[in-house]
């Protein structure tokens, strides 16, 4: 089981995307378009998240926007459909004791 609440608290204020690219994580009460949960601002290198959303949603929105930032920085040109698919895959990549096993004691 994932503790989504604990995970949202671990979202940093800044994330490194490439050797020279850092994105600031910002929060807003709401976007002009009420359906929008997150936004990546490439010009200012910001990932902006709607603050008021369930913890699980917030983590997924963060990972989703992070993928948009990765797509931009590495010139991958991912489509929205591809970002949505990878958003699901990245969860498994980050899952502990999965891609890397736990360190031996």
In whole angstroms, how close is the CB of 71 to Zn ion at the nearest point? Answer: 9
In terms of CB distance, is 70 or 83 closer to Zn ion?
A: 83
Where does residue 37 rank: exposed (0-12), middle (13-18), buried (19+ CB within 10 A)?
A: buried
Measured distance CA(23)–CA(3) in Å, rounded: 24
Count residues contacting Zn ion (CB under 5 A)?
A: 2
CA 101 to chain CA mean position, Å: 23
Scanning 10-18, 23-31, 44-52, 78-86 for contacts with Zn ion by CB under 5 A, the matching segment is 78-86
In whole angstroms, how close is the CB of 89 to Zn ion at the nearest point? Answer: 15
Place of tokens 């290198």: 45
Scanning 1-9, 52-60, 79-87, 90-98 for contacts with Zn ion by CB under 5 A, the matching segment is 79-87
Scanning 4-12, 14-22, 43-51, 81-89 for contacts with Zn ion by CB under 5 A, the matching segment is 81-89
Measured distance CA(33)–CA(87) in Å, rounded: 22
Say if CB 5 and CB 55 are below 8 A apart: yes
What is the contact surface with Zn ion in residues (CB under 5 A)? 80, 83
């Amino acid at each position: 089981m994932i503790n989504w609440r604990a995970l949202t608290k671990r979202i940093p204020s800044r994330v490194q995307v490439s050797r020279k690219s850092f994105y600031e994580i910002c929060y807003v009460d709401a976007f002009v378009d009420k359906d929008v949960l997150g936004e990546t601002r490439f010009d200012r290198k910001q990932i902006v998240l709607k603050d008021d959303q369930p913890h699980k949603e917030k983590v997924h929105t963060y990972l989703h926007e992070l993928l948009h930032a990765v797509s931009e920085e590495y010139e991958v040109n991912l489509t929205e459909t591809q970002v949505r698919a990878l958003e699901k895959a990245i969860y498994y990549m980050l899952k502990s004791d999965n891609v890397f096993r736990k360190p031996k004691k």
